[in-house]
Amino acid sequence: MANAIEIEAKALVSQADYKKLAKKFSAYPRYTQTNYYIDSESRILVKDDIALRIRQKGERYELTLKTPLSEGRLEKNTVISEADFVAYRDHGTFPKGDISRFLTMLGFNISELRILTSLTTDRIDVEYKGGLLSIDRNTYSGETDYEVELEYNNMDGAKAILGKLFEEMDIHAPFTDVTKVHRAMAAIGK
């Protein structure tokens, strides 16, 4: 299992602003990934600002747990097999390993956790000014939104770099703390 600290500034942008950014960075490769978001029916994880997902990117599946820190989020990642994903999706058999042990240690009953929704992202990743710029088109529950994230080693730096890019491109989008998992979960049953 890999651990990382994720610090990123993010903003939701208009479709027109997304197109401007996608055109500016058109030389960079695009790819698609799907996040399957996990929680209980009563949203026990979201209530504690915890995100749990399985990300499918091509033939690779990765289970990720994100918990809040004073700045950023602690991210625990582990690769799982397609068979583990299918067993969980179809039968509720949570993948064994460090993440299931960690959730149990935190007091969560993993047998209550299910895949509740998914979000598919068409993404452009760009190494940018010492950080990682992600330009995303997200679809979930019949909705589409456009998000720009800059992952960096500190939040002030991330906001400054992303703010300067927006200024240069005449993009007016406020920073947000609303994550993909929160938007996808909120869209269930709309």
CA atoms within 13 A on the CB side of 147: 25
What's the pLDDT score for residue 82? Answer: 97
Residue 128 backbone phi and psi in degrees, to 5: -140, 115
Amino acid identity, position 32: T
> Are residues 113 and 17 in contact, defined by beta-carbon separation less than 8 angstroms?
no
Sheet with strand 143-151: strands edge to edge: 2-6, 73-80, 60-68, 51-57, 30-39, 114-128, 131-140, 143-151, 8-13
Q: What percent of the chain has pLDDT over 90?
A: 91
Write out the CATH class of domain 2-187: mainly beta
Pairing of strands 131-140, 60-68: unpaired
Element (H, E) at 116: strand 114-128
Mean pLDDT of the chain: 95
Distance from C-alpha of 172 to C-alpha of 186, rounded to nearest angstrom? 24
Q: What is the pLDDT of residue 70?
A: 85
pTM of the model: 0.92
* pLDDT tens sequence across 81-135: 999 999 999 999 999 999 999 999 999 999 999 999 999 999 999 999 999 999 9
Domain spans, the chain: 2-187
- Could you tell me which residues come within 8 angstroms of residue 83 by beta carbon, excluding any fewer than 6 positions away? none
